[in-house]
Amino acid sequence: MQASRARLFKEYKEVQREKVADPDIQLVCDDSNIFKWTALIKGPSETPFEGGVFQLAFAVPEQYPLQPPQVRFLTKIFHPNVHFKTGEICLDILKNAWSPAWTLQSVCRAIIALMAHPEPDSPLNCDSGKLACILWIWALTLNI
């Protein structure tokens, strides 16, 4: 657990330095618990989420960075890879593709990338996943 705390304090210092460098992500550590974080991320440009700000909740396990954080959207979002009711995110790096090289900041970047490029083949929101597949097929038939 001590290693986890040290890693999170290191990430906290890095986040403080990167505040200006990455205006699309604002990561904040809970004042009373280093294992609880929130983030505000900006919706990626040229997507339906452009102009929006989305809140994420991070629950970091004591085995971090050997185990991934649990991350969910607090802001409601209609996206194939986000469960509409719980905000759970279907993203491989938060499951079986996790590596200790990932940081909370890089997880935010990956979530922003997922928002721009959904994976309708592994939906948590089935309605959104079906709609994305229909739109993809429609775009292919029109050669868009």
Reading across the β-sheet that carries 33-42, which strands appear in turn? 25-30, 33-42, 53-59, 70-73
Q: Which of 29, 90, 108, 126 is catalytic?
A: 90
Number of helices (H), then strands (E), in the chain: 3, 4
The tokens 């996943």 sit on which residue? 129
Look up 133 and say whether it is catalytic: no
Q: Return d(Cα 142, Cα 18) in angstroms, integer.
A: 42
Q: Return d(Cα 4, Cα 129) in angstroms, integer.
A: 36
Length of the chain: 144
Are 12 and 29 in contact by the 8 Å Cβ rule? The answer is yes
* Residues annotated as part of the active site: 90
